[in-house]
Structure 1
Amino acid sequence: MNLSSLKPAVGSTKVRKRVGRGAGSGLGGTSARGHKGAQSRSGYSRKSGFEGGQMPLQRRIPKFGFKNINRVEYKAINLDTIQALVDTTGVTVITHDVLYQNGLVSKNDLVKILSRGEIKSAVEVQVKGFSASAKAAIEAAGGKAVVA
């Protein structure tokens, strides 16, 4: 083997298509663009959503609904999840940081405790919100529900 015998791997290179170089090349005349129309012209670029002049889909379909910019989105954590966390880690005070360290919420999530499942341990839970039934269940188990 020497430098003069090196070649690229088979199939890794293609021959460039030279258009507009005479009829004998097979790609002369219209340069493989067909006849007339926008796509045959230089500078043509298809707009996204353009359907050849037909009314495009995004204009045929009616608008509906709205996005409430004042909506506050909470991450729901249920009582059975809290009980499982207490059973595995043994913590007695559950805060946003504890939930974050255990991978249950993201850093900027607002957390609300909901009442699916049951809680048997007396724990203090400090998060942004509680459902009324979840708060009652935590306090019935001897714990505290603190809005932090």
Structure 2
Amino acid sequence: MELNGIKPAEGAKHAKRRVGRGIGSGLGKTAGRGHKGQKSRSGGYHKVGFEGGQMPMQRRLPKRGFKSHLLKFNAEVTLTALEQLGLAEVDVLVLKQAGLVGELAKVIKVIKTGELTKAVKLTGIGATAAAKVAIEAAGGSLV
């Protein structure tokens, strides 16, 4: 095989259809667009979702739900994660360095998933009611 003998695969390349180039081409006169009407004009076509004047689907359906843009600043930590961390004192910086919460997190809350046996002192971190009971039962505290 030589560089000057390389060719694309059979059927990979084909000539672009040239419309509106006379009767002999088979696509002259109306160039395959039919006669008159919006779809035959240049630049003329309906917008996405247009249903011929009928009320479109996206307007017939009710608006529902909401996703707060502030969610990226909230984070959760489980009791299991605190247990595995194995530190006596935990604050926001420690959790970020351990990779348990994202770098953007500002509000961090402990949730009751799993068990906690070690005493952990939490500084600047919230907890759910059940998690608070579990932390205090293990001898820890929330500051």
Aligned counterparts of 2:126 and 2:136: Cα–Cα separation in 1:
15
Deviating more after overlay: 34-43 vs 15-24: 34-43
Q: 1:9 deviation in Å?
A: 4.5
User: How many angstroms apart in 2 are the aligned matches of 1:101 and 1:72?
Assistant: 17
TM-score scaled by length of structure 2: 0.77
Q: Determine the structure 2 residue equivalent to 1:19.
A: 19
CA distance in 1, matches of 2:120, 2:15: 72
The separation in 2 between residues aligned to 1:103 and 1:77, in whole angstroms, is 11
Give ranges in structure 2 of 5+ residues lacking alignment: none
Shift of 1:80: 2.0
Change (3 A) 1:68 1:82: closer
Contact 2:72–2:104 (Cα < 8 Å) also in 1: no
CA distance in 1, matches of 2:11, 2:101: 49
What does the per-residue CA deviation read over 1:34-61, in whole Å, with 9 as the maximum and x for residues that have no partner? Answer: 2322121111243122123222111222
Is 1:144 aligned to residue 141 of structure 2? Answer: yes
Alpha-carbon distance in structure 2 between the residues aligned to 1:19 and 1:68: 51
The corresponding residue for 2:84 is 84
* Structure 2 residue 93 is matched with structure 1 residue 122: no
Question: How much has 1:31 moved relative to structure 2?
Answer: 0.7
Q: 1:70 Cα shift?
A: 8.7
- Partners of 2:14 and 2:113 lie apart in 1 by 62
With over 3 angstroms needed to count, the CA separation of the structure-2 counterparts of 1:12 and 1:96, relative to structure 1, is farther
- Whether the aligned pair in 2 keeps the contact of 1:112 and 1:127 (CA below 8 Å) is no
Distance in 2 between residues matched to 1:2 and 1:115, nearest whole Å: 67
Look up the match of 1:54. Answer: 54
Change (3 A) 1:135 1:40: same
- In the alignment of these two chains, the number of paired residues is 141
Partner of 2:94: 98
**2-side partners of 1:72 and 1:21: how far apart?**
57
- Structure 2 partner of 1:132: 129
Question: 2: CA distance between counterparts of 1:61 and 1:15?
Answer: 45
Give the 3-state SS of the residue equivalent to 1:84 in structure 2: helix
Q: Which amino acid aligns with 1:28?
A: G
